[in-house]
Amino acid sequence: MPMQPYTLDTSPEAHAAELAAIRRLPPAKRFARAQFLSDQARQMAFAAIRRQQPGISDEQLRLKFIAIAYGSQVATDVERWRNELRR
């Protein structure tokens, strides 16, 4: 099954050319690109949370992100673990 473009305004030809260029990259560069894109997405998510909750602390911001990305149970577990470390 062919990959679908991630935007509606990307032509199939442009999408195919982009995938071909990515596939030609050495593994380390592909990893670096994926890491960069992941960091950008996380920063955008943090900014969106801050816009919704302007006074949120950095720790609460991270926990909110974890809850959104991985589920509230994981965020609760992380918060409990952090509190145990502080004792």
Contact between residue 45 and residue 61 where contact means Cβ atoms under 8 Å apart:
no
Burial of 28 (0-12, 13-18, 19+ CB in 10 A): exposed
Contact between residue 66 and residue 75 where contact means Cβ atoms under 8 Å apart:
yes
- Band (pLDDT 50/70/90 cuts) for residue 1 is low
CA-to-CA dists, residue 6 to 62, 63, 69, 72, 76, angstroms: 27, 28, 19, 27, 32
pTM: 0.74
pLDDT digits (tens, 9 = 90+) for 8-67: 788 889 988 989 999 999 999 999 999 999 999 999 999 999 999 999 999 999 999 999
